[in-house]
Amino acid sequence: MKRSGLPPLVGDIRDGKVKWQRLEDLNYELLGYFLSCHLIIEHYLDEYLKTRYPELDWDASKQTFGQKVSLLATDHYPEKYNSIPAIKHLNSLRNKLSHNIDFKITQADLLPLSQYLKKCCGSDLEEPTEPKEILDLFTSMVCVWFASGISATAKQTRHSRE
């Protein structure tokens, strides 16, 4: 059985008639990639916060993504590497996406991510222009930064035990 896609949305009801709105031009690959990037960043964020605040019971506290990012905001990071505003923006896009079925991610939507990349990578960066390329590089750079913090804390913990 071949299907033609998702059911249409109720567009408008007037004068006893229903106008149906087809979902067209949704880029499922980009939407899935976007959500995967958000989840990967959240994974690194979780691990980073566990090393920074080991006394917290992370499983019991059930922090939202926004609450986790707020914990980051208490630290002072070099401006060049401060990804917090861009991460907050990424999360706001994810919230829009989760509440608006026909939301389309554009290069303009990702401008704060591109600005962060330009700031942290400098003029050597061949600036990505496609949304998937921007998401790819942004996710990599943010996760590398978190990974360096995780590694540094792990190394300090090991040395303090010796």
Structure-token pair, residue 153: 């804390």
Write down how long the chain is. Answer: 162
For residue range 14-51, what is the model confidence (pLDDT) as tens digits? 999 999 988 888 888 999 999 999 999 999 999 999 99
Q: Does a structural domain hold residue 77?
A: yes
Fill in the DSSP letter of residue 8: P
pTM above 0.75, yes or no: yes
**Cα gap 160→156, rounded to integer Å:** 6
Residue 113 lies in a domain: yes
Phi/psi of residue 14, each to 5°? Answer: -145, 140
Residue 16 lies in a domain: no
11 located within any domain: no
Residue 87 in domain: yes
What total of structural domains would you count in the chain?
Answer: 1
**Inside any domain, residue 55:** yes
Q: What is the arithmetic mean of pLDDT over 81-103?
A: 93
Q: Which domain holds residue 36?
A: 25-161
Q: Which residue has the higher pLDDT, 80 or 38?
A: 38
Has residue 13 been placed in a domain?
Answer: no
